[in-house]
Amino acid sequence: MKLAKRLSAAVGTGLLALAVAAAGGGELRAAATKLTMVGSWPPKVSSAADIGIKYLETANKLGKGEVEITFKGSRDVVPTFDQPEALVRGLFDIWYGAPNYWAGVVPGGYFFELSPYDVPDKGPGSDLYNFIVKMYEKHGVRYVGHFCGEPSTGNHFMYTQKKISGIGDLKGRKIRVPPLTRFFVKQIGAEPVTLPPSEVYLALERGTVEGFTWPYYDGFTAFGWHKISKFVIGHPLYRDGVSIMMNLDKWNKLSGDAKQVLIDAVGPVQGWTAGWVSAFQAQQLKEMLKAGMKLVTFSDKEAAQWETTANEALWAQFKSVMSAEEYATARRLLGYN
């Protein structure tokens, strides 16, 4: 028995010595928490994807030794529209993409794309931000932050193959949409068609869709759409941008310091994104017009109808899927009441 105790003590002492030696003889320190990231779109093709990567780089820099995020890929890892549920299941840890892609998981969870504020969620710690966090927590997700252009830039726009002068000209036309613009397109009597971005060019070429909606700052020319699209409607629909989400179970297992790193990375990237999106949008429009696309401007009356119809269509959808309390709170926090 005494021999066994001496052996056990010797082994314990030896393991401790090895650990200290591996640490350079200094104080032992836990290894950085390793996290995996998947995004909706590939970097260097989608400008919005580059915002997600900017967050990754910022968090890794701030959290050196505490947090290490590794980008695993985009639609080549998990199909774009399957990614939200994959995040909930824990197939990866962190996600970037359009918040309206969560429409089927968190009903109304992208209401802040109607935000009038410079920073749509008003940043970590605000009542609006905390409300969004609670909405997503109910569905196994930790909302981290949203990054977009100023209120007048980075919006969704519509592109058509034939010139139109107002909403009435779109009736019956097939328009490719993300979840965000689906209800507006349906409201005006057009037919919404769901396609991943990678299939838009071919659909336009074959005439299976007669237009689509997309924020043109987000790599419009990288997708090659300027080569086949004819007209851009010069009146914005909704705010756009990139949200960062995290699997809630993984978030809850992080240390307090690691959580703080991920939150501290939000503010700097939100500030950087505003100016970056504005500059990139101007550059994209210049290239689109140079390629032969035409900018369509409506009359004041038609422009007002466009904006009113867009807002009313989306709020009506939110009212149908959110609880009465959530809907009222969302409108109050965005200043619509």
CATH number, residue 194: 3.40.190.170
Contact between 52 and 244 under an 8 Å Cβ cutoff? The reply is yes
| Domain hosting residue 271, numbered range | 33-149+240-279
Q: pLDDT at residue 180 above 70? A: yes
The verdict on 144 and 59 lying in the same domain is: yes
Collapsing DSSP to helix, strand or coil, 123 comes out as coil
Cα–Cα distance measured from residue 274 to residue 284, given in angstroms and rounded to the nearest whole number: 16
For residue 28, being part of any structural domain is answered with no
Q: What is the pLDDT of residue 29?
A: 52
* pLDDT, averaged across the chain: 90
The verdict on 168 and 235 lying in the same domain is: yes
The verdict on 263 and 306 lying in the same domain is: no
The verdict on 180 and 296 lying in the same domain is: yes
The verdict on 173 and 301 lying in the same domain is: yes
Give the model confidence (pLDDT) of 137-157 as tens digits: 999 999 999 999 988 888 999
Q: What is the pLDDT of residue 13?
A: 42
Q: What's the total number of domains in the chain?
A: 2
For residue 213, being part of any structural domain is answered with yes
Q: pLDDT at residue 173 above 60? A: yes
**337 confidence band (pLDDT: 50, 70, 90):** confident
The verdict on 274 and 287 lying in the same domain is: no
The verdict on 295 and 180 lying in the same domain is: yes
The verdict on 57 and 122 lying in the same domain is: yes
The verdict on 253 and 306 lying in the same domain is: no
The verdict on 44 and 187 lying in the same domain is: no
List CB contacts of 136: < 8 A, sequence separation 6 or more. Answer: 102, 106, 109, 142, 143, 245, 248
**12 confidence band (pLDDT: 50, 70, 90):** very low
Cα–Cα distance measured from residue 13 to residue 4, given in angstroms and rounded to the nearest whole number: 14
The verdict on 216 and 259 lying in the same domain is: no
- Give the number of other Cβ atoms within 10 Å of residue 158's Cβ: 26
Give the model confidence (pLDDT) of 21-36 as tens digits: 444 444 445 688 999 9
The verdict on 38 and 181 lying in the same domain is: no
